Chains A and B, each alone.
Chain A
C-alpha cells in the first residue's frame, strides 16, 4: 500500500483528489447550510485530528490515543485566553490572534514533552501510555478549576472573520488540504524517510546512527500541533469545551474514525469522519429503522457494527474497499496480454512492478497485487 507518498501531479489519483477538492470548494453553493456547517465542517476538523493518528501510525508505527488531548488543550487554552469575562476560565481577555498563537504554542510544547516521555516505548506500551495521557488530561481539566473545572469553558467566541459557518468550513478545508499535502510531502524528506525507517526497523536505524527517540518525539510534536489546529476549529464551531469533550469516549471515537476510513491512507481520516458524522446525523432518519429498534439511543451499537463490518470487508478501512473496487475494475478492463503479464508478475510474489499501463500509479500498483499478498504482512504494500 504505497499510499504515503508525495502527490504525483500527473497521476490519476491526483486528478481524482483535485476533482474532489473542487467539489468540496463548490459544496456550499449547492448544499444546505446545515449540511455544510454540521456535517462537512465537522468532517474537516475531526478528519484533521484523525489524520494525525494516521500520520503517526503510518510513518512512525505509533498508534496514539493522545491526539484528542491536544485537540482539547488547544480549545481550552484558546478559551481561557480569549474570554474577557465570565465565571469560568482564566478570562485573560487577549486578542484573538494572540490567543490562537498561545493555544498552539502550549499545545505544541505539551506534545513535545509528552512525546519525549513516550519516545522510548513502542507497540502496546505506546498505545497504553498515550491512553494514560488522555485520561490524565481529562482529570487535569476536570480538577483544575481555574482553567476549566468539570463544567468546562463556555461562551467562547469565534473570530469575526469565521462568523459565517461557510467560512469556518472553508477554514477547515484549507487546513485539511495543507495538512494532507504536507503529510504526503513529508514522506520524501530526510526526516520522513528516516521516520519510516524507524517504523520498520528501529534497531537497525539506531545502529546506523539515527536518533530514534528524537524522530518519534518530533513526529509526535508535529501531530500534536496539527491536532491543536483541529481543536481550534472545534472550539470555534462548538463555542464551548469541557472535560467530557476529551474523555475516554470521544478519544476512542477519534480512533474509530481513523479505523473506519483506513489507517493506511490520509484520505481515510476524512472519509471516516464523514461516514461517522453522516451516520450520527442521518441514521435515525432512515425509513423503518425505528421499527427495527434502531433509535438514536442505539447509535453506538450501529457504529460498532459498522466498524466490525468494515473490518471484515477490509482491514484497511473504507479506503481499502475503494482500492479493491478499483483493482477489480482494472482487472476487468485489462487486455489479455496485459493480464498475462500481470499474472506472471504477481505470481512471483514480489509485486513491485505492476502492469505497464499503471506503473506510474503506486495505488494501482498496490491494487493489482492486493488480493494476492494482502495478508502476508501487516504492512503489505507500504513503501519501504
Chain B
C-alpha cells in the first residue's frame, strides 16, 4: 500500500534553527580562539609585550596579561557527584585570597568575579566535564587550552585522568597545571612533567600508617584487598600493602573490580570468608563503595567493623545504608581531616565557605543543597582549594607576571603552603609531602562519625624508599608483600579527642 507521510514543518524549522545555532557557536568559538591564542608563539608574543613597562597596564586591561584559568571537573562517571565540589574549591580560594565574589549564592558552577593577585586578573575560562576516563579529560583539557585559551589549568579529580593530564602538561611546558585531587602515583613519579604540580598526596601516601596500626594494635596478621582496577585503586592498594606487609602482615588475596562496576557479587565471591582472614582493606570508591559493601553483606554476612579498613571512601555516610555495624573500621587519610580536629585555621576556612554561598549541592551531601562547609570539609573540594591557593601564592611570588610562566613554575616548585589542614610542600617531582591522618569510624551515640586516631608526619611519595622512578607503577601485583623498613613504623603520633599527643 502506498501512502504519503509528511513531517510537521515546525520540526524541520526547529532542527534547522538548532543546527544553525550550533554552527554559529562554532564560528564564535573560533573567534575566541583567535583572540586568546595560547600557542607557544602567541605566548612568546605576550611575553615580549609584557617586557615593555609602558604598555603593561594596557595589556592587563586588554586581557593580554591575565590568568585564564580552566578547571577540570568531573560531571559524569563514578565521581560525577563531586563536580560542584571541584569548582567550589577553586572559587573559595579566589574569594578568600584574591578578592573575588561568587556569581551565585547557591552554586559554584557560575564562577566568580573580580579575582586579582598583584594586579593580575584571574578569569575563569571554562569548566571541563570529565567522566573519569583519560580520553574524555584529554579532549576536555585540549578544548580548554586550545579553544578557550586557558593558560593555567587546575585539575583533574581522578587517577587515570591525572596521568593523561600530566602527559599533556609535559607536551605543553609553556602552560601551568595544578592537580585537583588526582591521587595516582604516576603523574609525578613517572611522567615528571616540570609544569605539573600536586599540592596533595597520592593514594599510597593517604594510607601510610594504616597497616602498622592494624598489624600492631588490632592484631591483623592476614588481610584481603579489594580495590578499583585503575591507577588510583592500585596506588591506594600499594600504600596499604607496602605498609601492612612492611611490618610483617600478609596480604593473602587481591581482587580488582573494574571501575564503575555496579554488581560486585562475583568479585566479593573471590574474597576469602571472614573466618579465613583477619580483615579486609577496601579501596572501592565513588558510587561503588556502598554497592560493594552491600554485596559483601549479601554474600558473607553482616559487617564486623573491626574486620574492615578502607581508603578515603570509607566514610560515616555509609552507615546510613549499612547501619552502625561499620563502626570500628579504620580509614586511611585524605587531604582534609575529620571534624573532631578543630583549629582556628580550620574553623576560619569552613566559616569562609559558609559565607561564600548560602548552600552548595556537594557530593558529600548527595548533591542535596547543604551548608557549604560540609563540602569544604571533604578532600575533593579541599584539594581544589589547595591548588587555587597555590596558584595565588605563586602569582604573588612572581608579582603577578604570567606572560612567561617559567618564573611562576619555579615559584610553585619551591612553595610551602600553610593550608587550613596543615602545611604542604613539594618533593623534587613536585608532589606533596604531607601529614597523613589515620581515622576510625566510631559510634557517637547512635551516629557513626570519623575520629582521628594517629598522625603520620612527612609522608613522601617515595614511601620510605618503596617507590621510585625506577620501580614499576603500582599495579595488581606490585608492590609484592614483603617486610621493609618504613620510617613511620612505631612512630605514629597518637591523637586523642582530636588532640595530637606530641
Residues of A within 8 A of B (CB): 31-35, 37-39, 87, 142, 145, 149-152, 154-155, 238-242, 244-245, 250, 275, 278-279, 281-283, 285-286, 295-297, 299-300, 306, 309-310, 312-314, 321, 349, 371-376
A242 and B33 form a contact (CB under 8 A): no
Alpha-carbon distance A279/B30, docked complex (angstroms)? 14
Q: How many residues of B contact A (CB 8 A)?
A: 58
When distances are taken between beta carbons in the complex, the residues of chain B under 8 Å from A155 are 167
Known contacts A244-B133, A282-B22, A375-B3; is-contact A87 B472 (Cβ 8 Å): yes
Alpha-carbon distance A310/B80, docked complex (angstroms)? 29
Q: How far is the CB of A159 from chain B (nearest CB, A)?
A: 16
Which of A87, A250, A375 is within 8 Å of B5, CB to CB? A375
A–B Cβ pairs within 8 angstroms, 22 of them: A35-B30, A87-B190, A87-B472, A150-B160, A151-B231, A154-B134, A238-B135, A240-B138, A244-B133, A244-B135, A278-B26, A279-B22, A285-B29, A296-B129, A297-B80, A297-B83, A306-B18, A309-B14, A321-B12, A371-B5, A374-B5, A375-B5
When distances are taken between beta carbons in the complex, the residues of chain A under 8 Å from B4 are 371-372
When distances are taken between beta carbons in the complex, the residues of chain B under 8 Å from A250 are 135
Q: How far is the CB of A315 from chain B (nearest CB, A)?
A: 10
Q: How far is the CB of B461 from chain A (nearest CB, A)?
A: 15
When distances are taken between beta carbons in the complex, the residues of chain B under 8 Å from A275 are 19, 22
Alpha-carbon distance A32/B2, docked complex (angstroms)? 49
Alpha-carbon distance A317/B165, docked complex (angstroms)? 36
Alpha-carbon distance A285/B143, docked complex (angstroms)? 12
Cβ-closest chain A residue relative to B233:
A150
Q: How far is the CB of B95 from chain A (nearest CB, A)?
A: 21
When distances are taken between beta carbons in the complex, the residues of chain A under 8 Å from B6 are 371
B138 and A238 form a contact (CB under 8 A): yes
Alpha-carbon distance A300/B15, docked complex (angstroms)? 17
B133 and A150 form a contact (CB under 8 A): no
Alpha-carbon distance A299/B167, docked complex (angstroms)? 26
B26 and A281 form a contact (CB under 8 A): yes
Alpha-carbon distance A39/B147, docked complex (angstroms)? 11
B167 and A239 form a contact (CB under 8 A): yes
Known: A34-B30, A321-B15. 5 other contacts (CB 8 A): A31-B30, A32-B33, A239-B171, A281-B147, A373-B2
Alpha-carbon distance A31/B171, docked complex (angstroms)? 24
Residues of B within 8 A of A (CB): 1-7, 11-12, 14-15, 18-19, 21-23, 25-26, 28-30, 33-34, 39, 75-76, 80, 83, 109, 127-129, 133-135, 138-139, 142-143, 146-147, 160, 163-164, 167, 171, 186, 190, 229-231, 256, 258-259, 472-473, 475-476
Alpha-carbon distance A142/B472, docked complex (angstroms)? 18
Cβ-closest chain A residue relative to B473:
A87
Most buried by B among A155, A241, A349, A374: A155
Alpha-carbon distance A83/B77, docked complex (angstroms)? 30
Known contacts A285-B29, A296-B129; is-contact A245 B135 (Cβ 8 Å): yes
A309 and B15 form a contact (CB under 8 A): yes
Q: How far is the CB of A245 from chain B (nearest CB, A)?
A: 5
A150 and B5 form a contact (CB under 8 A): no
B163 and A154 form a contact (CB under 8 A): yes
B258 and A142 form a contact (CB under 8 A): yes
Q: How far is the CB of A100 from chain B (nearest CB, A)?
A: 21
Q: How far is the CB of A126 from chain B (nearest CB, A)?
A: 27
A286 and B167 form a contact (CB under 8 A): no
A34 and B33 form a contact (CB under 8 A): yes
When distances are taken between beta carbons in the complex, the residues of chain B under 8 Å from A34 are 29-30, 33, 146-147
B167 and A240 form a contact (CB under 8 A): yes
Alpha-carbon distance A42/B231, docked complex (angstroms)? 27
Cβ-closest chain A residue relative to B146:
A34
Q: How far is the CB of B128 from chain A (nearest CB, A)?
A: 8
A87 and B134 form a contact (CB under 8 A): no
